[in-house]
Chain A
Amino acid sequence: MSNEPAYPSLADDLLVREAREGNMQAFEELVARHRDKLYARAFSMVRNEEEAIDLSQEGWVKGWQRLRQFKGGSSFLTWMTRIVINLCLDHLRKQKRPHAVSIEQMDEETGGVERQMPIVVNDPTEGLTREELRQRIDGAMAKLTDAHRAVLILHEFEGLEYKEVAKRMGCSIGTIMSRLFYARRRLAALLADVRKERQT
């Protein structure tokens, strides 16, 4: 009988301990366990399937190389998610194309458009199932700019405070507040549009 441990039954911290000793099978189990979540996070940041695969895989390679730095202050998944998010932010920074910026985008950066958008008082998500709502949010998120989407993901999904988001994105807290405000208002407007479409 083999003495090899049954990796699928081991908890993350035990697998991490094994992987730190150079056990690649244990690390593979961690990858198999969390790869969908990390890929989904990368996809929500870059909105491109191939890039999301590459970035999530690069994240796993970095994770392996930095395993000794993981002190267990957070869960392994949280730690890995931060690595992937940082890679995505770097990727988006490098990708910043010098394309023509629309007037709307300029207003998004300087602030202005969001104050002219009508306030959505009626809950645009009313009557939707959770899965429908997830799909609507996903569609609306795809329409935001990279910078606005990133702020929303870091604050709403990763639960980071303003100052932590600012640090990761390399900008001021004021810019983060402004971007977050615009992103939320635009998201509300997009969800309201979907509701209108459904009613007609």
Chain B
Amino acid sequence: MSGGEALKTQAWLDGELPPAEAAAIARLVNNDAAARDLSTELRQTTAALAVGEPVRPVPESREFYWSKIERAIRAAEDSRPSASRPAWWRSLARWLVPAGFTAALAVWVASPYLHQRQQGSWVSGAEIESPLNDVGSFTFRSEAERMTVVWISTY
């Protein structure tokens, strides 16, 4: 019996051989003593394995075993904060971030023009009190010196 025939005998027993080849191997097992003995041994081994493995309990308590799993789950979730946010928040953020960036860019580009328009109404050398009481800041603009001073005080 060749090595190929031995492997085919095994495949035949496992039901993995195409029907055309299965008939030839069945004949071989019937007529050849070595093939018959091999098929007997393979059958016995498969039957023995069907009994299964020994019962092997986890050598740790239920609480301790679970505590490690729980810790790993929480650690993985903490390391991915964005994934835990709701889907509506994630889709909103997808639009808000570029929109915010575009708005900031627009303000930056337009700031010289806005600054120019505001200059006309400013009184040279005047002291301007901040309208926001809680900010606590004063702005002083001197057109002669071409300078603006901002005084910020904390209360």
Contacts and interface: CB of A to CB of B under 8 A. Distances in A.
A61 B73 contact: yes
Given A115-B3, A162-B14, A123 B56 contact: no
A36 B58 contact: yes
Given A36-B56, A39-B58, A115-B3, A120 B44 contact: yes
A86 interface: no
Contacts of A185: 41, 45
Contacts of A111: 3
B143 to A, nearest CB: 64
Interface of A: 24, 28, 31-32, 35-36, 39-40, 43-44, 49, 53, 56-58, 60-61, 64-65, 111, 115, 119-121, 123-125, 130-131, 133-135, 137-138, 141, 152, 155-157, 161-162, 177-178, 180-181, 184-185, 187-188, 191
Interface of B: 3, 6-7, 10-11, 14, 16, 34, 37-38, 40-42, 44-60, 62, 65-66, 68-70, 72-73, 76
Given A53-B59, A57-B72, 18 more contacts: A28-B70, A31-B65, A32-B62, A35-B62, A61-B69, A61-B76, A119-B40, A125-B48, A133-B51, A134-B53, A137-B49, A141-B53, A155-B14, A157-B53, A184-B10, A184-B41, A184-B46, A188-B41
